[in-house]
Amino acid sequence: MSFQDIFKSAFLENITNVSILDMVISLVLAFGIGMFIFLVYKKTFTGVMYSSSFGVTLVAMTMISTLVILAVTSNVVLSLGMVGALSIVRFRTAVKEPLDLAFLFWAMGAGIVLAAGMIPLAVFGSVSIGIILLLFTNKKSYYNPYIVVLRCEGHDREAEAVEYLRSQVKQCVVRSKTVQKEAIELQIDIRMKGDHTEFINRLSGMQGVCSAVLVSYNGEYMG
């Protein structure tokens, strides 16, 4: 047994399976694509509370996917063990926006394609997806959705207030109605004709109207 046989290790022999140049190129490209995904996410975000940590997660997800696929493609035995290890991982963080799920799959898919050596597909596909998201997500509808919370003293005043509101907006749909002894509260989904909100001032000044609140929302109603 020679001196080299004493320090011979299967673990150290696997170091040469992936070259240093391949690792550097893959991780640098993964970082660049991840930053592009992050910028597109930041540009197209339409939610209520922006989370900067989710944007950083997109960059990390792209690089981690590249790292894992590089390891899997370099060793068949390792790929089987990686499948078993990842099968026990459970992610319990709730995705608040449906579009966030698309960004997560985009980051993982770009990392996988990049590590597989399909660099043109990863770059061209990411640019195409980014352009599509920028075009469709930033497209604003002409009639903005709003909710009017209206509080009236009785049925007659309610009918007068709703009738006036219908004459001032493009669309008016009652979503919920709460009746109490002293007042009636309505939540009305409206589509305004423009950006003018003077009708809320006149509505709140009508006789029998206790209050009128105008709230912007994303168009999705949960009741």
The residue among 33 and 197 whose pLDDT is bigger is 33
pLDDT at 87 over 70: no
- Cα gap 126→155, rounded to integer Å: 56
Q: Is residue 222 part of a domain?
A: no
Residues 56 and 156 in one domain: no
Mean pLDDT to the nearest integer, 28-43 = 92
Q: Which amino acid is residue 153, in one-letter code?
A: E
Q: Band of the pLDDT at 28, cuts 50, 70, 90? A: very high
169 Cβ contact partners less than 8 Å away, ≥ 6 residues apart? 190, 191, 192, 193, 199
Q: How many structural domains is the chain composed of?
A: 2
Range of the domain at 211: 145-216
| Whole-Å CA distances, 53 to 93, 94, 100 | 13, 14, 12
Total number of residues shown for the chain: 223
Residues 193 and 123 in one domain: no
Residues 22 and 125 in one domain: yes
Residues 7 and 68 in one domain: yes
Which of 121, 137, 153 is the C-terminal boundary of a domain? 137
Residues 124 and 166 in one domain: no
pTM over 0.85: no
Residues 171 and 87 in one domain: no
Contact 165, 117 (CB under 8 A): no
The residue among 32 and 10 whose pLDDT is bigger is 32
* Cα R_g (the chain), whole angstroms: 28
Residue tagged 């590249």 (tokens): 66
Which of 93, 110, 137 is the C-terminal boundary of a domain? 137
State pLDDT tens for residues 88-115: 555 566 666 778 888 989 998 998 888 8
Which of 104, 137, 170 is the C-terminal boundary of a domain? 137
Residues 119 and 59 in one domain: yes
Q: Is residue 118 part of a domain?
A: yes
Q: Is residue 223 part of a domain?
A: no
Q: Is residue 103 part of a domain?
A: yes
State pLDDT tens for residues 112-143: 888 888 889 999 999 999 999 888 876 655 55
Q: Which amino acid is residue 32, in one-letter code?
A: G
Q: Band of the pLDDT at 32, cuts 50, 70, 90? A: very high
pLDDT at 223 over 50: no
The residue among 131 and 14 whose pLDDT is bigger is 131
Q: Is residue 18 part of a domain?
A: yes
The residue among 19 and 55 whose pLDDT is bigger is 55
Residues 128 and 101 in one domain: yes
Q: Which amino acid is residue 8, in one-letter code?
A: K
Mean pLDDT to the nearest integer, 15-24 = 73
State pLDDT tens for residues 68-77: 888 777 665 5
